[in-house]
Amino acid sequence: MTKSPRNPQGDPREARLKAALRANLARRKAQGRARAAEESQDEQQGQQTPDQGAPGNED
């Protein structure tokens, strides 16, 4: 069985799915970048905390 020839304009459903996938990928990349930036900021703040060696912080 062969595929039917596509419209020169393309399939509107396929175009819509491509756009949705592209938007989802962009959103996930942005979330990943935000999480990475937040983690690196937390690490930097953790290194700069002056009270880490203060009395009362023993475990």
The predicted-structure confidence for 1-58, as pLDDT tens digits, reads as follows 566 666 656 799 999 999 999 999 999 999 999 999 998 888 887 765 555 555 665 5
| In-domain check, residue 57 | no
Do residues 51 and 57 make contact, with C-beta atoms less than 8 angstroms apart?
yes
| In-domain check, residue 36 | yes
Estimate to the nearest angstrom the gap between the alpha carbon of 35 and the chain centroid. Answer: 8
| In-domain check, residue 32 | yes
Rounded Cα distance between 19 and 1, Å, is 29
Parent domain of 31: 13-43
> How many structural domains comprise the chain?
1
Q: What is the pTM of this model?
A: 0.53
| In-domain check, residue 53 | no
pLDDT value at residue 25: 98
| In-domain check, residue 6 | no
Output the CA torsion sign for 22, 20, 9, 1: positive
Dihedral class, residue 10 (left if φ above 0, else alpha if ψ from -120 to 50, else beta)? left
